Chains A and B, each alone.
Chain A
Amino acid sequence: MKDELITLKSISKSFGDKLILDDLNLTIHENEFVTLLGPSGCGKSTTLRIIGGFESPDKGSVIFEGRDITNLPPNKRQLNMVFQNYALFTHMSVAENIAFGLRIGKKPKDYIEDKIRYALKLVNLEGYERRSPSTLSGGQQQRIAIARAIVNEPKVLLLDEPLGALDLKLRQDMQYELIRLKNELGITFIYVTHDQQEALTMSDKIVVMNQGYIQQEGTPEQIYNEPENAFVADFIGDSNLFPAVMIHDRLVAIDGNHFDCVDEGFGVNTPVDIVIRPEDVEIVPPARGTVTGVVTDVIFKGVHYEMCIDVQGREWVCQSTVAHAVNEEVGIRVDPFNIQVMKKPESEDEEAAGINE
């Protein structure tokens, strides 16, 4: 395991009566691309702003390289932020924007000029030194904002929904740019987004948040394939999220139909939630299916067809490269490895708190 860089210890924060973060603990390692992912209002931006020093937590502490920086103002922290909507200085040229932090740090003139050239090269905007930020496109402004932050050689780059204002194509291009930058710079990125696709594409580690609690931490594969609770399963990707009963180890009943699975340790006859990804639902001839159902809806999605299948009044979503006609009777089977069993929360609080409990 790499060295711990930032540790958030028991962070709580409220705005007025509204509790934004409740006893949040999080460790971020060196040279990691960490994404804080969640719906708006889940506390992800607040977490980032606490790390950046723009908000101070009501309780808890922020540890950076073993030092408590909870009360350190932002201008004294060795991290830099790329803001939502870029926050470029419109009264300065591109070069002056990039030089801002270096001039504050009283770096020599030659050094500053080298750095500007280097940073512009890094973000593929060579020759833009004298332009005014307001004459640049959204994507270019974004690159300048990144250049302005990285010339200060921060240990950590904080990015607050940096691609939110860009259109889809540009957003996808910038995702690859960011991965390349991260690899070239070899520093830690902490990235905030509500876009699960972005998170899955770029991250080494994803932290899924909801209502001020961390729901799950893990690699993109873990988050996608093994969601630990219904919220994560529902938030990441399309999924069939059903209530079920764990009959005993390795056997689960959905609406009374028994399915083999690989999960153990949930007890006997315990209510659980299960997740089956649409691409994991196999359509087979009725005789070979674990259950049978009727196709109610077919949509062509490009790579595959998406179909809704009514199984005893419950709708299953499945994806297949073969289309089946509406009203056709089909069989359904699921590989035991593809059924993800999750513990049912006992109360709403526990549901929000997720795995922190």
Chain B
Amino acid sequence: MQEKPTTDTTPISKSEAPVIEIKDLYKSFGKNEVLKGVTFSVKKGENLVVLGKSGSGKSIAIKCLVGLVSADKGIINVFGTDITKLNNNELNEIRIRIGFLFQNAALYDSMSVRENLGFTLKRHAKDLSAEDLENRIIDVLESVGLGEAIDKMPSELSGGMRKRIGLARTLILKPEIILYDEPTTGLDTITSREISELMMEIQKKNKTSSIIITHDMPCAKRTSDRIIILKDGVIHIEGTYEELEKSEDEWVRSFFI
């Protein structure tokens, strides 16, 4: 367990080279300083859970990772490339390799489930025949256990189904990194557990690296290899679930009650 690792600049050996490396990330909105020098990394195949109070900048940090929000200062290395220095086309090359599951799944309301999945695939896998495209959509839907929902509209889906379809949409491009923004928020306990298990299945099957932002501690316990907790715009503490659960810091322990 490490206290305040934001100043940790220890070089990582080549075999452990991180797929994501964020150094001294700063972001503010007007006078509100959200991130004040956040530093962390994610290794290949690792699941990093990010905890913190609402408004602590967790979502902003992962939005900076895909260029949805531009950082004020800092280095964001993804697959060894500093994305803050890329133009839009170069950034898109990186984005294709990253999946992003939004808090409310962000399914395109005007499209059916088939169109939601095909929309991205058609634009990035232009050499696929119509038959291959359909097969890939069916395969991905079956991998999240919702093959029968292919012709449904998002408005016909429950919260849990929307999350699964959202996950299927991120998986369709076979990403190497998946960013989860509160994947179990608003779901009942059973569905939350199912989604957490699905996330683990996907990670094992596709060997993806993940950053999971959550307030759901059972989800954090199931999915995390490592946890970081954000407080006042910096990383307050870092460690495994078991280490942090036994932390001497009362504020840290309050997350695990």
Is B truly associated with A?
no
On B, residues with C-beta under 8 Å from A are none
